[in-house]
Amino acid sequence: MRNVSAEDEKKRKSSPKRRRATELKEINMEKITIDRKIVECSLNAVNEYRDAVCPEETKHAPLAFKVKEYLTLDEAIAFVESATESYFPQGNYSPIVGDIATAILTVETYTNLELPEDISEKYAVISAECLIPTIEINVNLNQYNNLVSNIRASVEERKRIAERDIEKELDKISLLFENIANSTQDIMNGLDIKDVKALLSASSDGKIDEEKLVKAYSKVMLDKSDETVDVN
């Protein structure tokens, strides 16, 4: 192992990398206030609609509408939550239902279009008029892509939670059957053919009368206790 001399240590401390780290510590990080005009312009931007610019292949479309470039915070949260929920109709994961519902939600959130009431008609208009591609080239892609990523992440997390819940329920059912099996084994231990026949008398037309079964079992156990010999 090589001994580090005082000269080596001095060189190490004065290396460019070391000097850069020292310089970083000296950077002035004093907070600056954002000009109020910038804040107001930003607020106005998320509340404005602009004429949709259609891609080349859809310029012939007669549909004219406006697109919102940005969503407000409340709109963004509602968009992600509603889209995530749409992937779980009646609590069951359905990617096709979620994709269609999210497409409809995107048009209703980002544009000034009022879609038809009928779900089939909504889907037909969105598909035939290529509304989603038109929206995507007119919105702020950075925000839009982040929201889409959040939807996907939320859906995956919801799926994982659902899977864990199913596993817990299966564990409960498995434990229940195990307890039933153990209880049945405990009940049947020590019973002979005569005892089993007595228990079967509690059934009528293939159906078990619970009250008769309890009485029959109690009688069997009472008879067995009478047969027990006290060795003392």
Residue 165: the pLDDT is 67
With a CB cutoff of 8 Å and minimum separation 6, the contacts of 146 are none
List for the chain the helix, strand, coil content (%; round to 5). 65, 5, 30
Are both 133 and 214 inside the same structural domain? Answer: no
Are both 60 and 158 inside the same structural domain? Answer: yes
Are both 138 and 218 inside the same structural domain? Answer: no
Residue 109: the pLDDT is 95
pTM (2 d.p.): 0.57
Element (H, E) at 215: helix 210-227
Q: Is 98 part of any domain?
A: yes
Are both 80 and 134 inside the same structural domain? Answer: yes
Whether the predicted pLDDT of 28 surpasses 70: no
With a CB cutoff of 8 Å and minimum separation 6, the contacts of 144 are 136
Instruction: Write the CA distances from 33 to 8, 36, 179, integer angstroms.
Output: 46, 9, 67
Q: Higher model confidence: residue 163 or residue 123?
A: 123
Q: Which is it for the CA torsion 173, 179, 182, 187, positive or negative? A: negative
Q: Is 111 part of any domain?
A: yes
pLDDT band at 59 (very low <50, low <70, confident <90, very high): very low
DSSP state of 115: -
Residue 73: the pLDDT is 94
Are both 89 and 194 inside the same structural domain? Answer: no
pLDDT tens for each residue of 149-188: 999 999 999 998 877 766 666 666 666 666 666 666 655 5
Q: The domain containing residue 104 runs over which residues?
A: 40-167
Q: Higher model confidence: residue 72 or residue 129?
A: 72
Are both 82 and 189 inside the same structural domain? Answer: no
Query: Considering the chain, what is the average pLDDT of its residues?
Result: 75
Calculate mean pLDDT across residues 42-61.
68
